Amino acid sequence: MTSVVLGVSAGIAVYKSCELLRLFTESGHDVRVVPTRDALRFVGEPTWAALSGNPVTTEVWESVHEVPHVRIGQSADLVVVAPATADVLARAAHGMANDLLTNTLLTARCPVVFAPAMHTEMWEHPATRANVATLRERGAIVIEPAVGRLTGADSGPGRLPDPAEIFEVCRRVLAGRRAHLAGRHVVVSAGGTREAIDPVRFIGNRSSGLQGYALARTAVARGAEVTLVAANVSLPDPAGAKVVRVESARQLRDAVLAAAGHADAVVMAAAVADFRPVRRSDTKIKKSSAEPDPIHLTKNPDILAELGEIRRARREAYAAGDGPYDAPEGRRSHAGDGPGIGREAGTGGPYPRVIVGFAAETDDVLANGRAKLQRKGCDLLVVNQVGENLAFGTPDNAAVVLTAEGDSVEIPRGPKEDLADVVWDLVAQRLA
């Protein structure tokens, strides 16, 4: 039985962690709840003890003969702190040990997940940003809070993600797929674009976003900072990903290129319309007795090719010693007096370093895939055969991943998260 420590601190969202606790216990985990003193003002000790079936203490001074300040952390397979207050993030980042939870965090050698929840101002404060960066640098997984209604009438980033989403991150961390992407920023596009014909009609496609969302979720569980560019997806936001919503191919292009300038990898899982109507009517096109006017189409930007082209140009300029280039913004701010824009020490040059495309083919799947990989200049191409009950809208997928070096990796039919894991393994290898 795996041993999970659920740390709870004094955020208003702490009641949601009762549900998280149940998800752990009902799936067979032994859970020891370690609250902070103030957390018990919101939800009392009897609730945690009854739901976990284990004793609950906040202090190092109880049951001292069992040395709980060391034992609990040492014997854990996973520590998850949800909600993690600004205060607990600060104490953990500074290595403080003034209660049982922070002692446990210092003695744990297992993966540690923090799910922060607080008001937007607290989350965005430079002190909290620095504490989160420190914890991430040390290998902890800090899940981005969700955006939405906070205490009172406020809303913004700071909500505790859905307990089921936090549980899913923990489940995958426990499954051993973790940390290969700690400290990395990845961009994933998901869903299908819509090209407006008039205010009510559009040209769209059948993509549900399931594959892109699986990629985002699995990347979060590996410790990556994830920007998810979602085109018309109606799925719940994956915990920990920064979601940017778009509708059309051109909006998706702008969002992906904006995020790609400071990303290590871009995975283009969205189904992007190749064409759009030349003209969008401002008013609904009326049904009349006459035959409708034909819809003339024009080509949309080829985002994958553009990404490859930008990177190629940056590489050439980088090799020639010309600059400047856009540095990954996050790193620039942490790097302080780093080696200069676009020349990040030990990272091997301009960004994004890995570009992954998806190709949905109905015929001549592999030959078309190879040709596309070369045309677009990407590193990996995930080739799906689409058809009835294949790829779109189903929980399963099967694919072949083609590499720029001419290799191929076959992924048998299985959950979209398994496919996502193969993609991230290949991305992590290339980033290593």
Ligand X SMILES: Cc1cc2nc3c(=O)[nH]c(=O)nc-3n(C[C@H](O)[C@H](O)[C@H](O)COP(=O)(O)O)c2cc1C
* Active-site position among 131, 205, 300, 397: 205
Is residue 205 annotated as part of the catalytic site, yes or no? yes
Q: Enter the tokens of residue 135.
A: 């914890």
Considering the complex, what minimum distance in angstroms separates the CB of residue 160 from ligand X?
8
120 vs 251, beta carbon nearer ligand X: 120
Helix locations, 203-292, DSSP H = 210-221, 249-260
Residue 143 is a binding residue for ligand X (CB under 6 A): no
Interface with ligand X includes 268 (CB under 6 A)? no
Which residues 6+ apart lie within 8 Å of 173 measured at CB? Answer: 78, 111, 113, 141, 221
How does DSSP classify residue 65? G
38 is an interface residue for ligand X by CB under 6 A: yes
The single residue among 20, 31, 79, 86 that binds ligand X, judged by CB under 6 A, is 86
Tell me the window of 64-72, 82-90, 225-233, 242-250 that interacts with ligand X (CB under 6 A).
82-90
The reply to whether 80 sits near ligand X by the rule CB under 6 A is: no
Task: Kindly give the interhelix angle for 303-320 and 249-260, rounded to the nearest 10 degrees.
Answer: 30
Among 114-122, 166-174, 367-375, 393-401, which window interacts with ligand X (CB under 6 A)? 114-122
Is 231 a binding residue for ligand X by CB under 6 A? The answer is no
* Interface region with ligand X, contact rule CB under 6 A, candidates 116-124, 170-178, 214-222, 337-345: 116-124
Helices (H), 199-302: 210-221, 249-260
* Residue 161 in contact with ligand X, rule: CB under 6 A: no
Q: Determine if 118 is a binding residue for ligand X (CB under 6 A).
A: yes
60 binds ligand X (CB under 6 A): no
Asked if 106 is part of the footprint of ligand X (rule: CB under 6 A), the reply reads no
Residues 6+ apart with CB under 8 A from 237: 146, 147, 161, 165, 228, 243
Continuous H helices in 32-187: 39-42, 45-52, 68-74, 86-93, 100-107, 120-124, 126-137, 163-174
Q: Which of 49, 70, 122, 295 binds ligand X (CB under 6 A)?
A: 122
12 lies in the binding site for ligand X (CB under 6 A): yes
* Vertex 93 angle, CA 88 and 96, to 5°: 70
φ, ψ of residue 112 in degrees (nearest 5): -125, 130
Q: Which residues are catalytic?
A: 205
Note the residues at the interface with ligand X (CB under 6 A). 9-13, 36, 38-39, 85-88, 117-118, 122
